[in-house]
Structure 1
Amino acid sequence: MEAEGAKWTSTEKAADGFFHRSPFNFFRSQIQKKKRSAEKGGCEQYQGSDHEESKEESRKGSKGHKMNDSCLETQMVEQIFPAPGEALEVIPHLETLDLSWNTNIGGKLFLLIQKIPKDHKLKTLKVMDCSLTSEDGESLARQLYKIHNLEVLDLSINRKIGYSLESIAQELKHVSGLKVLNLNRCGLKPDGFKCLASALQHLLELRELDLSCNKEIGGGFKYLAAHLAELRNLEVLNLHQCCITEEDMTVLTHVIPLLSSLQDLDLSLNKSIGKSSDHLLSRLRFLPKLKSVLLSNCSLKHDSFASLADAALHLPELEILDLSWNKCVGGNLKLILKALNLGAEIKVLRLSSCSLVDEDLGGLGLVIQAGHLAQLQELDLSYNNQISDQGWTMFYQDIVGLEQLSELDVSRRPSSRGNCGEWLGKLLAALLKLPQFTELGLQGWVLSEVQQKQLEHFNRDNERNVRFDVWYGA
């Protein structure tokens, strides 16, 4: 199908089979209509697209395709206007503007936003990975008062934005209805972070706050404490890889349990958490709406892990739990399994590189047999090289109880390849009883010729479509 004045491109086809227009395609079609209307002496009223790219497609999408396609659309708009920003003048009802993956925007953002009319209807502005400069940040700050309807602001993966965050933070008071603020990998500086913390008092509608991968804000969470606690509507808090210190943990221990609406909490890759996290993790029990807890690579100790296990008993809606790269889990998985006995909602369980042993898999198998993980869709047991062939064999006989399972990863570390045991046959037999299963990770296992043929013929012989991530080397 072809829209008037614009053709669909391959990157605009969504995963669900439906077609959506990018903001630049919308610009082009509306601009061409404007030209035709002007030639006829008429006028038209324009309606903005409220389409927003799905979260899953954004996470897995091809950066190269987005850049090439978006840059092409930019050139088309530039042929019509001296500056692309003039499009915002002739499309006053535009609600979504996504300029992401256009690195040539860096240093030129003012051309796109300088002519934004006051009280514009724009609700979503995304400029992810656009090589923005500190000057671009200053330009954006000066325009925020014109777009007070803004609900989503994504500046992620622009490492120089941190130098102008003070100016941006001071102007956030003009967008008090902001619901999503994404500053992932923005090179936040201590002074800018302090200003941002103060600005939160104006953003009481905030639902998502992403400060992840900003290593220089570690030690500065004392500034965030008072105003973060006021965000009663906050549902997503991402502090992944923020170099959180023990002092920060003291602050977060008092603040996070007050976020009564919190659903997703990511503290991954903050290794200091393991030194004092038992207090914070024990207080997660006061957040009954939590659906996702990510604690990968946090250097958890036995006591902090036990505190988390006790708290998890009070999290009835927990769906995603990531404990990967915490060695203390090995030999102690039974602690968290008590909570999983009640956790019928668990859909994703990640235990990669946790030093699991046969006893841990045996306990997990018993929980599965009891039907307490009936909703589990993704299970990551990769990089647990201490498990014996017998341990794997027994476990694969139990996974038939996971009727909703779609992904399983049992890969080994690349540096420690091992021969695939006879358990592969048991595993493949179990997969035949799992109708939703689509992906199996077997990296690091060396397969015999017979085992290779078993995988090669599996889909054909059983009319299935399972993806096997496997290494066939000797």
Structure 2
Amino acid sequence: MSQTGNKSSSDGETKPQTLFVNKCIRGSKFRSPKAENRKESNDLKTTAFRPSDETPKPNMMKSPGEARARFSSKAARKGPESLHGAAYVWSLCTLHGVPALPPQPTCSSSDSSVLYNESNRQWILLTTNHKLHVQICFFLCSLLLALLPSLPDLEELDISWNDFIGRTLHLLMQQMHLVSKLKILRLGRCRLTADDVRALGEALKALPELELNLSWNSKVGGNLPLILRTFREGSKIQMPELVDYALTSEDGAFVGQLLLRLQNLEVLDLSINRNIGGSLNSIAQGLKSTLTLKVLKLHSCGLSQKSVKLLDAAFRYLCELRTLDLSCNKEMSGGFEDSPGLAVLEHLEGLDLHQCSLMADDTMWLTRCIPFLSSFQELDLSANRKMGSSSENLLSRLQFLPALKSLLINNCALESETFTALAEASVHLPALEIVNLSWNKCVGSTLKLLLETLKLSTSLQVLRLSSCSLATEDVALLASVIQTGHLARLRKLDLSYNDSICDAEWTIFCQNLWLLKELTKLDISLQPSAFQERGQWFRHLLCAVTKLPEITEIGMKRWILPASQEEELEGFDQDHKSSIHFDHGGFQEADFSRLN
């Protein structure tokens, strides 16, 4: 739960009751086990788990304003449906002051153990026992139900990524009257069943204006009307999230009818519902009534050439649209010809068409539209290899987008002429923050074409040149640009999979690296088939690292560490205390602390 502190009245006295502004229970997102172990290895204690007599009790809270609870159970699995062999991690409860369950001696059970993290007051269960897992699931559900009476002002409830919600949601829905002020409910990836969906639909009759997110629950498919039928015409709902519901064609038709009732809708995300392409006619008709829509995402929805025509007709009504995502719909290829609708979206700021198999006709369509999109800030055309040879005119037109901040054109099979056109246009893009040219081999030996852009782009924060066949002179050029004080705001630099760079140029590059004071990530990994011994440049890299206050990760996969440099690394580790991670991809690995 996030809350504000007590507010003072006009006479300066503190109000006796805490005002909850944005209270929520969130499912936490976990780092990888390696990251957890590095951070918490000194804080974990092992104990036996006793839910029967040591359950945290709500009366331990001194006041609602002091209560903080977080429930999460994101499992790291070998397969999506696997329970055995999983490591279940959650925070049982964080209450005021003392942890609910005191640390115990090491558990001797061979199939389960419970770890306690003192710094975060979190309990972590590691188990391969299915029955134990089920017991814990019901325990957590009971704990959540016990907390609800203490949260009458709850406005946001996020219990996503909790397997224990599936099959038990009806118990929670029976108590929803206790949180009548609830505005947002998130149940993403909770393994909801058809019975859960029915229970939710009944409960929503009393909360028709609730913002709902059930993304990544495949059992919702075919049952969508049971949930959303309560939405009234003129509803104030602004953002129903319907990602990866396994929606059927019938569900898609229902969504089209539903849109007619949601005139205040601002965000519609139907991504990863591959069967709704056949009902896009109904959805497109519904979109014509959503005049306030700002974000439309149809990523990986099985759209076809016919779908493009239907959407094109709807675009004329979406005057407020800011973001459009049609990515990963390969069947749309060739369907954009004679589709002028995009040009009327004068407020459009972001367009994502990556992996759409764009062809010459599609590229020509986009070229005609660009001059009308003066508000454009983000363009993603990556992974469209068929457009490479026909995109010269398109890339030259980018000069008409002075507000462009992000350009992703990686893996597009660009040719020398198209890259030249891009380089010439980029000089007119002073706002660029992100540029991704990775996997375009034509960049090698021609990076000098971007020299003026690199000097003028004072806003550039991310530059990715992975697998671009960079030559020695390219790295020398990059080093000189850094040396002259340009690229000062660069935060992420990816030079990986460029194996032809000699040791001398790596040395020059590393000698100037310390000038990138805002750099957080650097990747100079080699290709999977390439292994090389590190040269003298590695010593200069270590020296630069000590002068980079923001650096957290350096990718160096498949660089072999000689014994002499291993000693340097050990000395570096002893002399500095911070958190820089040198990523060797499992080949060799060392973690260093950062200078405070």
Same fold (TM over 0.5): yes
Native 8 Å contact 1:377 1:405 kept in 2: yes
Partner residue of 1:180?
A: 295
Deviation per residue, 1:169-227 (Å, 9 max, x gap): 12111212111111111111222221111111111111000011110111011243x21
TM-score normalised per structure 2? 0.69
Partner residue of 1:266?
A: 380
Cα distance in structure 2, aligned partners of 1:261 and 1:30:
44
Aligned length: 442
> Which residue identity is paired with 2:477?
G
233-242 or 167-176, larger mean C-alpha shift = 167-176
Q: What SS does the corresponding residue of 1:415 show, helix, strand or coil?
A: coil
Q: What SS does the corresponding residue of 2:175 show, helix, strand or coil?
A: helix
Partner residue of 1:144?
A: 259
Partner residue of 1:21?
A: 157
Deviation per residue, 1:394-426 (Å, 9 max, x gap): 111111110000000001111122222222221
**Equivalent of 1:85 in 201, 204, 211:** 201
Q: What SS does the corresponding residue of 2:289 show, helix, strand or coil?
A: helix
Gap change, CA 1:458 and 1:111, over 3 Å in 2: farther
Alignment of 1:32-431 (within 5 A): 32=175, 34=177, 46=181, 48-49=183-184, 67=189, 70-71=190-191, 74=192, 82-94=198-210, 96-224=211-339, 226-431=340-545
Gap change, CA 1:167 and 1:66, over 3 Å in 2: closer
Native 8 Å contact 2:156 2:182 kept in 1: no
Cα distance in structure 2, aligned partners of 1:256 and 1:146:
33
> Which residue identity is paired with 1:185?
S
Q: What SS does the corresponding residue of 2:351 show, helix, strand or coil?
A: strand
> Which residue identity is paired with 2:364?
T
Native 8 Å contact 1:92 1:121 kept in 2: no
> Which residue identity is paired with 1:134?
S
Cα distance in structure 2, aligned partners of 1:279 and 1:385:
32
Task: Give the unaligned 5+ runs of structure 2.
Answer: 2-23, 26-63, 75-89, 91-119, 121-154, 589-596
Cα distance in structure 1, aligned partners of 2:286 and 2:203:
24
Alignment of 1:420-459 (within 5 A): 420-452=534-566, 454-455=568-569, 458-459=572-573
> Which residue identity is paired with 2:502?
S
Instruction: After TM superposition, give the deviation of residue 473 of structure 1 in Å.
Output: 4.0
Instruction: After TM superposition, give the deviation of residue 257 of structure 1 in Å.
Output: 2.6
Native 8 Å contact 1:446 1:471 kept in 2: no
Cα distance in structure 1, aligned partners of 2:171 and 2:399:
51
Cα distance in structure 2, aligned partners of 1:232 and 1:23:
38
Instruction: After TM superposition, give the deviation of residue 358 of structure 1 in Å.
Output: 1.1
> Which residue identity is paired with 1:246?
A
Q: What SS does the corresponding residue of 1:100 show, helix, strand or coil?
A: coil
Q: What SS does the corresponding residue of 1:175 show, helix, strand or coil?
A: coil
Partner residue of 1:465?
A: 579
Gap change, CA 1:149 and 1:459, over 3 Å in 2: farther
Cα distance in structure 2, aligned partners of 1:7 and 1:291:
39
Instruction: After TM superposition, give the deviation of residue 341 of structure 1 in Å.
Output: 0.4
Q: What SS does the corresponding residue of 1:10 show, helix, strand or coil?
A: coil
Native 8 Å contact 1:89 1:117 kept in 2: no
Instruction: After TM superposition, give the deviation of residue 326 of structure 1 in Å.
Output: 0.6
1:9 aligns with 2:71: yes
> Which residue identity is paired with 1:10?
S
TM-score normalised per structure 1? 0.86
Q: What SS does the corresponding residue of 2:506 show, helix, strand or coil?
A: helix
Instruction: After TM superposition, give the deviation of residue 259 of structure 1 in Å.
Output: 0.6
Native 8 Å contact 1:263 1:292 kept in 2: yes
354-363 or 129-138, larger mean C-alpha shift = 129-138
Cα distance in structure 2, aligned partners of 1:205 and 1:295:
26
Gap change, CA 1:342 and 1:90, over 3 Å in 2: same
Instruction: After TM superposition, give the deviation of residue 379 of structure 1 in Å.
Output: 0.2
Native 8 Å contact 1:234 1:261 kept in 2: yes
Gap change, CA 1:463 and 1:310, over 3 Å in 2: same
RMSD of the alignment, in Å?
A: 2.9
Q: What SS does the corresponding residue of 1:321 show, helix, strand or coil?
A: strand
Task: Give the unaligned 5+ runs of structure 1.
Answer: 37-43, 53-64
Gap change, CA 1:335 and 1:133, over 3 Å in 2: same
Cα distance in structure 1, aligned partners of 2:156 and 2:431:
33
Instruction: After TM superposition, give the deviation of residue 449 of structure 1 in Å.
Output: 4.1
Deviation per residue, 1:94-151 (Å, 9 max, x gap): 2x32111111212222211122222222111112122222222112112111222111
